Amino acid sequence: MRFLVVDDSATMRRIIVNSLDRVGYPDVVEADDGQTALAKFAEGGISFIITDWNMPNMSGLDFARAVRARADGAAVPILMVTTRSAREDILAAVDAGVNNYVLKPFTPPVLKEKIDAVLSVGAAA
């Protein structure tokens, strides 16, 4: 299962990639902004996207919308990484087609729990 991790902070990407590795998902593709991420996604083979919310040029929400707008991006799970959770953020994330989000800081098990939650909902639908 290949993950696409999108974050402008290289340190954050490493944290996420390390966490994924620790919970059994070693196959990760990285991108440092939305445009690059879209190009990587277009190459195919991505089965899960983890993206930062606040990024320069293209926000995580815009990125999610762009993925959803693609024929091959309608179903791919998108997990958003963020630092705040307010009503408006939550609704905006849902509207953009984000499957779930996780708050920083998280531990690898929490990340796994979120991924599992997203996958189980997806499987049920």
Contact positions toward another protein, by CB under 8 A?
8-12, 14-15, 18, 32-33, 35-36, 54-57, 81, 83-87, 89-91, 94, 99-100, 103-105, 113, 117, 121, 124
Axis-axis angle for helices 108-124, 10-22 (nearest 10)? 70
Phi first, then psi: what are they for 29, rounded to 5°? -110, 140
Nearer to another protein, 3 or 53 (CB): 53
Nearer to another protein, 10 or 69 (CB): 10
Shortest separation between residue 32's beta carbon and another protein, angstroms: 7
Nearest C-alpha neighbor of 101 from the set 32, 53, 58: 53
Shortest separation between residue 9's beta carbon and another protein, angstroms: 5
Q: In whole angstroms, what is the distance from residue 45 CA to residue 23 CA?
A: 20
